[in-house]
Amino acid sequence: MPKTAVVTGSAGGLGKGIAERLAMDGFNVVLHDINEELLKETEEAFKKQGYNVASYKSDVSSKSEQTELTAFAAETFGQLDVFVNNAGIDAVTPFLEVGEDQLEKLFRVNVFGTVYGTQAAAEQYKKQGTKGKVINACSIAGHESYEMLSVYSATKHAVRSFTQSSAKELAQFGITVNAYCPGVAKTAMWDRIDEEMVKYNDDMELGDAFKEFSSAIKLGRYQEPKDVANLVSFLASSDSDYITGQSILTDGGLVYR
């Protein structure tokens, strides 16, 4: 029987790339996002390609909605096997201008969302009496903190921490928890970061921040969604069954840990 994966925030960007790769690997895939319009477009496109997909719109920062998402996956495809906490948001601000709203918003989505998704998936696996995998979206910013991205970096460090502690506690149930740590990928997220960076630097033009970050990549090109999907495909497969609690860098040679 095909396994079933949920990928949060998969209407576009890295999540869409991850979802497509898992569908190509033979998974049933639940596409998920808060952006319903884009989600439906992606679902339609995936179905045209013959993939076995369904879609579910919700907000990862809601604990109850994360539980409802895992229940939807199990009801739709029989059971849940892999849960990818991919959804995330960014913010660019000088440290001295960081405010309560930004702290609240980024931690609610990036951290609370990951915790709630991990809890919901783990409870679903226990209910099924099956093993299961949780795969979290971390970042190079989960290993190194960056200027102007202080809150975002803190959230990704928190994701790396929860990946370790939840892996330690959930191993007894046959549940592994790992994370992927991308570098600099040209998605809507980096388009937003680049636009924001320009606002704080009169010497910068649109595209300069992305160029500056990606120019340091030793393999000489910025990341594509498929580069991240390759790692997540491995983490979603039985080949990674003996790996847990790890936040694995895939950045073309930027951060070395």
Ligand X SMILES: CC(=O)[C@H](C)O
Q: Which residues bind ligand X (CB under 6 A)?
A: 90, 139-141, 146, 149, 183-184, 189
Question: In this structure, are residues 83 and 114 in contact, taking their beta carbons and an 8 Å threshold?
Answer: no
**Active site residue: 3, 16, 133, 156, which one?**
156
Distance in Å, CB of 193 to ligand X, minimum: 6
Residue 156 falls in the annotated catalytic set? yes
User: Does residue 179 touch ligand NAD according to CB under 6 A?
Assistant: no
Residue 126 falls in the annotated catalytic set? no
Distance in Å, CB of 233 to ligand X, minimum: 20
Site for ligand NAD in 25-54 (CB under 6 A): 33-35
- Residue 22, binding choice from ligand NAD, ligand X, none, Cβ under 5 to 8 Å by partner class: none
Binding mask 91-130 for ligand NAD (x = CB under 6 A): ------------------x---------------------
Which listed range, 69-77, 126-134, 188-196, 232-240, lies at the site for ligand NAD (CB under 6 A)? Answer: 188-196
**Active site residue: 116, 125, 152, 180, which one?**
152
Which listed range, 4-12, 21-29, 119-127, 166-174, lies at the site for ligand NAD (CB under 6 A)? Answer: 4-12
Nearer to ligand NAD, 126 or 217 (CB): 217
Nearer to ligand NAD, 4 or 55 (CB): 55
Nearer to ligand X, 65 or 227 (CB): 227
Q: Which of 13, 117, 132, 252 is the binder for ligand NAD (CB under 6 A)? A: 13
Report the 3 state secondary structure along the chain.
CCCEEEECCCCCHHHHHHHHHHHHCCCEEEEEECCHHHHHHHHHHHHHCCCCEEEEECCCCCHHHHHHHHHHHHHHHCCCCEEEECCCCCCCECHHHCCHHHHHHHHHHHHHHHHHHHHHHHHHHHHHCCCEEEEEECCHHHCCCCCCEHHHHHHHHHHHHHHHHHHHHHHHHCEEEEEEEECCECCHHHHHHHHHHHHCCCCCCCCHHHHHHHHCCCCCCCECHHHHHHHHHHHHCHHHCCCCCCEEEECCCCCCC
Residue-wise burial string across 52-79, b where 16 or more C-beta atoms lie within 10 A, e elsewhere: ebbbbbbbbbeeebbbebbbbbbebbeb
- Residue 132, binding choice from ligand NAD, ligand X, none, Cβ under 5 to 8 Å by partner class: none
What residue number has its CB nearest to ligand X? 139
> Among all residues, which ones are annotated catalytic?
152, 156
